[in-house]
Structure 1
Amino acid sequence: MSGLVSLLVWLAFGAITVPIMLEHSLPLTVAYAVLSLTVVRMLPVALASIGAGLDRKTVLFVGWFGPRGLASLVFALLALEALGPVSDQAVAVITATVLLSVLAHGFSAAPLAARYGRAAAAAGPEPGGPVPVSPAPARGLSRMHIHPPHFRSKRSRP
């Protein structure tokens, strides 16, 4: 169900905001979109990972691919609805950033993930680092029944 809602949000986003972006597109809009995908997103990720012991390649990889999501689309649609035409330039910037993100991350995902995986495998496990875990078989998960324990509060006891 959430996948269907996500697709509907993307459809609404494209149908409503792309024409606005095309009308209000400026070179500065594209420049800010590029900055949003690089410095504006990667610098906070780098700062947040200080002290985590991550190497530079890992910080760059995480900074490039995350964090992101549908939130910016929802905020753009909410701004458009609440502010009307006054929000057109902000919506154009958000739309350009999201479209550039879809293209850049879509084209770079496979090659960068493969390169990062090879580099991580070659480096081997770090002392004190995470222990490799083998994946659980997917077949067995469908038959597994997990029941959470039932807790009763002190007030509900007779």
Structure 2
Amino acid sequence: MTTMTTSRTYDAVFILPGSLAEDDLQKLVQQIRKTVEDFGGSINREESLGVREFERPLQNSKERTGYYLRLNCTGPADLDAKVRNRFRLREDVIRMMLTQAPVRTEAVEAEEVSEEAASTDVPQPAAAVEPAGDAGLEGSPSADAAEESKQDGVTE
């Protein structure tokens, strides 16, 4: 009997110390990549968001900046737990967040494409809009009263 493993897509964000030297930072990023691959995952997209200053000081840390690394990876259902367990107690990983990415179906992608096409259409000029109010409406009671008072010579 063959067992079928479920492959899932994950989004991950790692915050690494901004004070790390460039060489140390690249080694740590390489360790993260290797860990994902060792646990049966593959990295679909990697994005460096650069070094950013924290909004507020972190408890129990002297770090004021962090290097943000964003990954999109595919792997087995337990990939997120294994990666979390590997890095959760390391001092050189300030924070990490792994979430299961939303499933993108062909219907959703087709809808997004049609929305993009609709948004790129040339907008049509708006039709002239008459001012709001009762005076512009024929047959309304106040318009009829205004017309009658004009005929009688009485102004409102």
TM-score, scaled relative to structure 1: 0.24
Normalising by structure 2, we get a TM-score of 0.25
Which structure's residues are more often strand, by fraction?
Answer: 2
